[in-house]
Structure 1
């Protein structure tokens, strides 16, 4: 290794530790291209992915990773190792691994969110205000608490403007916004049918460059602080306005939003009665950007031991996951299901195979509690990628072939009402 390359590696390591991954990317790619260290101060990196990766869906920060065909999850790892400190160390990348990722363009494309995705199905596009039935409202609001401020959109159905049946809090994925997420999931139409209000909190670009919820940061994985406290505050504000209790309050999300929905389920189990997690990760899967990449690839167990609240509340959970997801490995869905499954010997499990109206096959795993009520559902959609199942093509990151995740989530939420 020559002196220039060694110097570049040291600079890249310092930038990575400081979470300045854009600078680390630039330095390493210039070094690999043979440009001198002094040149890296002003050069512009080429972050176009190799041709074999240009069709990879959902290449955004930090919720983007390509899974090599040979990559295998460590689902068989013993539970005794989780939380003993080894998992956190194991999830961190070595310098050689970081160089390999950057050489392939994967970390750069994930962090900067600037792959050439024009023309790919489900990529970013302009989304206009939705067409709504007479009497419905799609309001623009904002919420502020000590942890910060976020705006949100609130759908109030014409079918129940004053006394809605419940509330669904929808957390969008990276490079999405409330309007796009509402359009793509079609959740407003489902909510209209069932008399539900729907809140869509907006992650700001100032808090994450690609508008991702920061599910992987320790400060955003705790109660009464960070982004969870902001989302909880929005939830409680709406619950108070419409006189809703926990049994009628639900949270759901896609990708980074799904991972944050898992955080909300863990940190505010007294606020929500059920969670919908679509292409997401279990609570405690990561504690920084690098361990987030590892978790998404399915390379490790939990990065930290979840601190479950002993208050008697257990959320019901419905999970959707594509079997061909190249961004979040399906083993993450297995971890979510395992964490949500009741430990009581009285619970029962059964599996059903089916096909959506458009012919896409899926396997539905149903777990009931000792009383026979719905506890967990897991929909593994055959051949689906990183996109909302059954979504509308007018929104981003959707798979119109189904099955319809929005309808099934709402059905599951309402089935368990007290």
Structure 2
């Protein structure tokens, strides 16, 4: 989620919080204390439209920008057509709706010929960007072999100084509002543009991106057929930066969850696969249990299969414990992977990206295996 610089910032914010200087701690974490020459420009909202309508620009392989055009779910003129890059390449674009705008990268596999492929939405962690996250997870390579598209929304520094998704803000934790509205609108936009399979749309993320992924599963269960949460946090348990800091540290401080259990207020029936290293010093490992507690699989209906626990070890890598919860038909609804000895990094990731741990197990492959078992009912 964050490197050495951000870790130092958080340590200082912790000290300020304990000293009762919450304003200074919030300003430090939010980036209001400038590291360079001053203030950031706000994200300008798009005037008009909703999560089904917006505008976007397509950046061609030569770097030129195709004409921006409005689109909607019913529109036949789809952004991404015309002069966009050919299939099998990364394309870049920008989506806007009534809430705001975000850039994105979209990977279209080499075998795409207009068929209704699945879509995986990948939300990067703090300080990362779509290219870095794609390189670290190797998701695009698997998209070519398994035939699906990958959408990488980009969080700008103007929205968060460290490019974190704002999972800890109340306005960014709701349906049809804040960042969830932009991300859901962007996903639907891409689905309509490329004729993708709306019943096979999945979302996954790392750290702050994982926290936002689980927020999307809570607020848009009708859109996402399954969710992957790597080193993430629960939905709705933080409403401010001091809250976020406390939750990330394990909720042991005075602000930790305010004495409430996350499952008391939120629940989702979206199938989930969760990864977390038990040596994570950035997001406390107990957050994996908190995330799991928000999903319906831990409150199974009568007749559901008993959970199974499997212990294993990646080849020349980390040992792990995988707990799987099933529905009454014996279908996996929740997998929780505890990676022994791993820190705050994408398990099994490539060294070509940041915050990765090549020692495995391979979270990318396991998430995709889990995703293909699930789709939205017709």
Q: What are the ranges of 5 or more consecutive residues in structure 1 without an aligned counterpart?
A: 1-55, 67-92, 115-128
Question: Retained in 2: the 8 A contact 1:298–1:332?
Answer: yes
Q: Residues 110-162 of structure 1, C-alpha deviation per residue, up to 9 Å, x if partnerless?
A: 95798xxxxxxxxxxxxxx9xxxx95021001100011000100000012342
Structure 2 match to 1:368: 326
For 1:185-264, list aligned pairs within 5 A. 185-264=137-216
Q: Are 2:330 and 1:345 equivalent residues in the alignment? A: no
1:97 corresponds to which residue?
18
The aligned counterpart of 2:130 is 178
> Which residue of structure 1 lines up, in the alignment, with residue 271 of structure 2?
316
Aligned to 1:157: 109
What displacement does 1:61 show? 5.7
1:291 maps to which residue?
Answer: 243
Structure showing greater relative contact order (alpha-carbon pairs closer than 8 Å, 6 or more residues apart) = 1
Q: Cα offset for 1:368? A: 0.7
Render the CA deviation track for 1:288-331: whole Å, top value 9, x for unaligned.
0000000001125645767658xxx7210000000000001111
CA separation of 1:140/1:97 partners in 2, compared to 1, >3 Å: closer, same or farther?
A: same
2:30–2:161 Cα contact (<8 Å) kept: no
Question: Residues 240-283 of structure 1: CA distance to partner in whole angstroms, max 9, x if unpaired?
Answer: 12334443000010000000001101111111010000000011
Question: Where does residue 407 of structure 1 map in the other structure?
Answer: 365
Residue of structure 1 equivalent to 2:283: 328
Shift of 1:100: 9.8
Distance 1:158 1:390 in 2: 24
**Cα 1:193–1:266, aligned 2, differ >3 Å: closer, same or farther?**
same
1:277 aligns with 2:224: no
| 1:320-375 CA-partner distances (Å, limit 9, x unpaired) | 00000000111100011122143223332011011112231001111111111110
Q: Return the alpha-carbon distance in structure 2 between the equivalents of residues 170 and 295 of structure 1.
A: 23
> How big is the shift at 1:216?
0.2
Question: Counterparts of 1:299 and 1:63 in 2: how far apart (Å)?
Answer: 19
Cα contact 1:61–1:174 (8 A) shared by 2: no
Equivalent position SS for 1:240: helix
CA RMSD of aligned residues (A): 3.2
The 8 Å contact of residues 164 and 197 in structure 1, kept in 2 or not, is answered as no
Larger radius of gyration: 1
Q: Quick check: 1:358 aligned with 2:316?
A: yes
